[in-house]
Each structure stands twice: as C-alpha cells, then as structure tokens.
Amino acid sequence: MNNFIQTRGSDNFHPQKADFEDVILNPGASFGGLYTLEHIPQVDFSSLVNLDYAELLKHIFSALNITLDGDILDSAIGRYRHFDDPTNPAPLVKIKENLYVQELYHGPTRAFKDMALQPFGVVFSKLALKRNKKYLILAATSGDTGPATLESFANQKNIAVVCLYPKGGTSDVQALQMTTQNAKNLKVLAIKGNFDDAQSILKSLLKDEAFKTALNEKQILLSAANSVNFGRIAFQIIYHIWGYLQVIKSEKIAPNNAGNFDKKIQIIVPSGNFGNALGAFYAKMMGLPIEKIIIASNANNILSEFIQTGVYDITNKSLIKTTSPAMDILKSSNIERVLFALFGSNRTRELMESLENKSYYQLSAKELATLQTHFSATFCTDKKCCETIKESFEAGYLLDPHTATALKAAKEFCSHSPTIICSTAEWTKFAPTITQAIFDKNFSDKEAIEWMQKQTCQNANNIDESKPKGIAKNIAVPDTIEQLFSKPIIHNEVLDQNAIKSHILSWLEDKTIEG
C-alpha cells in the first residue's frame, strides 16, 4: 500500500509514493524532504478500550495502512516483552488530581527511545533479510539514541552498527551502556570532539561516495536509523493512545450518547527532534480528544518560540549545554511533517528552503492560528528544572531533568482536563543532576546512584529531620543500571575524527555482518 508521500513534493527521481517498507529502508525524499502519511484516517477509539498493547498497535497500524508481514510485526511487538511489565510497556502514574505521568522509560536502556527503537530494530533487520541486503547503520549520539540503537540491533541478522559518541560528552551511565555492549555486529567509537563533531562525521560519511563504494564492494548498504525515519514515528503514535485509554479507564469515563469518547486531555511532551510530539499530533489528527499538545523545551527554546510566535529563527543562535541534553537542539526535524499535514507540500518546501538558506522562516498569521489549535509551548531554564526536580521529589515523585521541564509546563497550563506528562527517561540516567538539585551534592553517576539508594533505606528506618520533607517512592535502581559499573568494557577506542572512516572499513573486513 503506497500511502506515504513526500513533504516537499516530488523531483521525479525519488519514488513519488512509497510503502512502509520502502520508507524504512530508503527514508530520503525529494529536495531533502521526508516521507510522510498521505491520509490520516479517523478512528473510533471507544471500541479500543479493552485491547491489550499489541492489539491496539495492530489496530492502529492497520487503520493507517501501515503494512508489514505478520511475522515481522509480531516479532517487533515481541520486543515489549523485555520491558518491566510486558502487558503495559508505557504505564501511567497518577501524581495528583488530574495529573498523570506516562512513564515511557521502562525498556532496557531506561529512556523513551526504547519505545520505538526496540521494535524498529527488529523490523529493519527482518526487512533487510527479506530483501537479502546487508546494511551498515551509523548512529551519532549525545546519550540516549546510542544505547537504544545498540541494544535494538545487537546480534540482528544482516546488520552492523557503528555508533559514534563524543568522549566525555555523555553521562557515565550512557557511556557504559554503549561501551559494555558485547555483540559481534556492534562497534562503538569515542571521538575526540563534541556531539556536533560526531554528527558532522556521520553526515559526511553518509554523503561520502568513496566510502559508499568501498561498502558496496563488500555488498553492504549504508543507512542511518535516525529519528526522522517513519519506522520509528509509527511506534510513537501508539503509546499516546494507550495513555488516553488508561485515563478513560482509571477515571471510569463512559462514552457519550453517540458512543464516542469526548473527554479531552492535554499531553505535555519534553521535546527535542519532535518525534514524540509528532506521534501525539497524529493521534490527535486521528480523532483522539486531545485539547492541546504542549511542547516543553529547555533553554534552547527555538521550538517553543516557534509555536508561540510562528517564527523559526536560528540566526545568531548557538546551542546551549543544559541539564536536559537530549533536548539540546536547534533544528527540530520532525516539525516538517506537521507543516506538511497542515499546509501542504509547496508551502513546506518553501519554509524548509528558507530555513536552509536563511536559517529562518515565518508562518502567516492564519497559519500560526492553525498551528496553535494543536500546540502550545513553554520552556524551562536549568535553574527552574532543578527546583522542579526537588519539589516533585519532596511531594513523592522522582523525575529526570527532561521530564521536569514538562512538569514545570504543567503548572503553567493547568486545565480542568486530565493532563498526561510524557516521562522520557528514568532518573538513573541523569543521577548527578538529581543529587545536585535535591541535596546540593556534586557526585559522579555511581556516587549519585548509591546516594539515592541510601535515601530509600534510611528513610525506611528513620525519619531524619535534616532530610527533605517528603521522599519519593520510585527510587529503585534497575539491575541493568547497577550492573553497568562492574561489566567489562568492550569498546575502548578513542579516535581522531579523520581516522573514523578507515577504522570502520577495516572492522568490516572481519565477518562482522551475519546473514
């Protein structure tokens, strides 16, 4: 079913329309655009309340005409069995009246990237196998994408992964999640430089014809599993619907006389590249009663500025390093699919070309009004983020710095409707920021995690007056995180940027990719 079209129109070289399989394996579209859904169907959500997660996913994929072979889809969905609660991979926690946190971090790497990358890795590998093609997948990471990609593709057939990360530029936990990965088809390389350097190496390799030719001689194709791949977005629509249906059930809301749910909710999303928020947008377009999707940014507030003013402006903007690094971003790629859905391909091409040529674009007043019927936005400084972490901990709920930006937004956008905050990472991935915010202690990851564990034990024995007033209940550290600190390091190469290419090619000499 060719139900994907191109956000910037067609140059007649790329296929004008494509199906889900093609979109996953060949994501690049005309004029530097993306493949995206041609039609967004209306869905009757009231009939879906009693489906389990796998059934819901299949129902929505089928409504969207997202077609995959049944066995491929089943093994992809099977990946949710590795989540804390296989029947509920994205649980909802009520933290106060009308306010829920949807914890999207119960997968193997403790960040929400697992929600999409876990099943996506299976789909990609099985499609590669089906077409008898071998792929090298490149990833550059500032912390969460790397571990989730490696975990997803470990030992998968027909795939090798090289993951580049900036030496010293991630948290210790994130670095260990990568460097302790022990699978023959994975290679993790630290580079001397920052995340921008890692990303520019990735981009230059993806364009490097000599590199591609050298790979092709080995019968290997080059790809990147980045967050604009619709294969990842598709899985991100489901948990928003799941969250809504859980609210309906927990508040015992009945359908209206026409048999539909009309109870509205708000969803608040800590946003970077806009994949998570785009999933919510599609759910809303399908008829899920979402009043507004609220975008939370950090001090890199280009996205929130855009939604407030209609101006996307990165002239004179440089990246600020914050305590929520997964949201440190200037160009938020998935916005392009929203522009397409609301304003069509001609206008999208015009706006995106303006961004590329002038680092700037502006919506008309009418377009802005349309955008704002779906989205609101705000941003959060590091100072406010730390205050929010402390306050929430004392009120009984521990959250990570990314999720804190969303909780802060919830206070600004209070509503009579139930609000769901997307929690995008477990606190264990950002423990030093947590102990700094709550206890004013400057620790390494290991020290900070141990310190937090001590808090639970001591609190269980005694109420210490010098401690914060309340104490969060959700402090437990999963074994996978605890064990990281004693696992052997497999990948310890630190390379100059210009040594990466030859290093990858010589690694691929060995029989790295297994069919």
Ligand X SMILES: *Cc1c(COP(=O)(O)O)cnc(C)c1O
Q: From the list 275, 310, 418, 432, which residue makes contact with ligand X (rule: CB under 6 A)?
A: 275
- Rounded to a whole number of angstroms, the minimum distance from the CB of residue 144 to ligand X is 3
Closest by CA to 19, choosing from 337, 231, 312, 326, is: 231
Q: Which stretch binds ligand X (CB under 6 A): 80-88, 110-118, 351-359, 413-421?
A: 110-118
Q: How many CB atoms lie within 10 A of CB 442?
A: 10
Q: How many CB atoms lie within 10 A of CB 357?
A: 9
- Rounded to a whole number of angstroms, the minimum distance from the CB of residue 261 to ligand X is 26
Taking the least distance from each CB to ligand X, the nearer of 80 and 274 is: 274
Strands 159-166 and 311-313: unpaired
Q: From the list 106, 110, 349, 402, which residue makes contact with ligand X (rule: CB under 6 A)?
A: 402
Taking the least distance from each CB to ligand X, the nearer of 144 and 445 is: 144
Under rule CB under 6 A, residue 385 binds ligand X:
no
Under rule CB under 6 A, residue 113 binds ligand X:
yes
Rg (CA), the chain: 22
- Rounded to a whole number of angstroms, the minimum distance from the CB of residue 270 to ligand X is 5
Closest by CA to 113, choosing from 87, 139, 74, is: 139
Under rule CB under 6 A, residue 270 binds ligand X:
yes
Q: What does each C-alpha distance from 238 to 18, 22, 96, 116, 412 come to in angstroms?
A: 22, 21, 24, 10, 27
- Asked if residue 280 lies in contact with residue 293, where contact means CB atoms within 8 angstroms, the answer is yes
List the interface residues with ligand X, window 299-338 (CB under 6 A). Answer: 326-327
Q: From the list 156, 419, 424, 435, which residue makes contact with ligand X (rule: CB under 6 A)?
A: 424
- Rounded to a whole number of angstroms, the minimum distance from the CB of residue 291 to ligand X is 20
Q: How far apart are CA 99 and CA 423, in angstroms?
A: 13
Q: Which stretch binds ligand X (CB under 6 A): 25-33, 268-276, 342-350, 482-490?
A: 268-276
Taking the least distance from each CB to ligand X, the nearer of 105 and 211 is: 105
Q: Which residue has the tokens 């690694």?
A: 507
- Rounded to a whole number of angstroms, the minimum distance from the CB of residue 440 to ligand X is 23
Under rule CB under 6 A, residue 272 binds ligand X:
yes
Q: How far apart are CA 54 and CA 97, in angstroms?
A: 29
Q: From the list 111, 449, 452, 508, which residue makes contact with ligand X (rule: CB under 6 A)?
A: 111
Taking the least distance from each CB to ligand X, the nearer of 25 and 115 is: 115
Q: How many CB atoms lie within 10 A of CB 206?
A: 15
Which ranges in 157-300 belong to alpha helices (H)?
172-179, 195-207, 209-217, 230-250, 275-285
Q: Which stretch binds ligand X (CB under 6 A): 13-21, 244-252, 267-275, 449-457?
A: 267-275
- Asked if residue 405 lies in contact with residue 296, where contact means CB atoms within 8 angstroms, the answer is yes
List the interface residues with ligand X, window 203-242 (CB under 6 A). Answer: 227
Give the x-and-dash track for 425-454 against ligand X (CB under 6 A): x-----------------------------
- Asked if residue 283 lies in contact with residue 290, where contact means CB atoms within 8 angstroms, the answer is yes
**Torsions phi, psi of 86, nearest 5?**
-60, -25
Taking the least distance from each CB to ligand X, the nearer of 190 and 326 is: 326
Under rule CB under 6 A, residue 273 binds ligand X:
yes
Q: Which stretch binds ligand X (CB under 6 A): 44-52, 105-113, 180-188, 199-207?
A: 105-113
Q: Which amino acid is at 11?
A: D
Residues 6+ apart with CB under 8 A from 5: 16, 17, 18, 35, 36, 38, 345
Under rule CB under 6 A, residue 298 binds ligand X:
no
- Rounded to a whole number of angstroms, the minimum distance from the CB of residue 428 to ligand X is 12
Under rule CB under 6 A, residue 248 binds ligand X:
no
Taking the least distance from each CB to ligand X, the nearer of 314 and 505 is: 314
Under rule CB under 6 A, residue 33 binds ligand X:
no
List the interface residues with ligand X, window 119-148 (CB under 6 A). Answer: 144
Dihedral sign from CA coordinates of 226, 232, 237, 242: negative
Q: How many CB atoms lie within 10 A of CB 258?
A: 7
Q: Which stretch binds ligand X (CB under 6 A): 94-102, 241-249, 265-273, 469-477?
A: 265-273
Q: Which stretch binds ligand X (CB under 6 A): 1-9, 65-73, 161-169, 266-274?
A: 266-274
Applying CB under 6 A, what is the total number of residues that bind ligand X? 18
- Rounded to a whole number of angstroms, the minimum distance from the CB of residue 273 to ligand X is 3
Q: From the list 6, 141, 174, 276, which residue makes contact with ligand X (rule: CB under 6 A)?
A: 276
- Rounded to a whole number of angstroms, the minimum distance from the CB of residue 506 to ligand X is 32
Closest by CA to 146, choosing from 230, 225, 220, 201, is: 225
CA 479 to chain centre: 23
Q: Which stretch binds ligand X (CB under 6 A): 19-27, 170-178, 271-279, 315-323?
A: 271-279
Q: How far apart are CA 301 and CA 272, in angstroms?
A: 10
CA 498 to chain centre: 29
Q: From the list 271, 298, 428, 512, which residue makes contact with ligand X (rule: CB under 6 A)?
A: 271
Under rule CB under 6 A, residue 76 binds ligand X:
no
- Rounded to a whole number of angstroms, the minimum distance from the CB of residue 392 to ligand X is 16
Give a three-class secondary structure readout of 291-314. Answer: EEEEEEECCCCHHHHHHHHCEEEC
Strands 186-191 and 159-166: parallel
Taking the least distance from each CB to ligand X, the nearer of 195 and 261 is: 195
Binding site for ligand X (CB under 6 A): 111-113, 144, 227, 270-277, 326-327, 402, 424-425
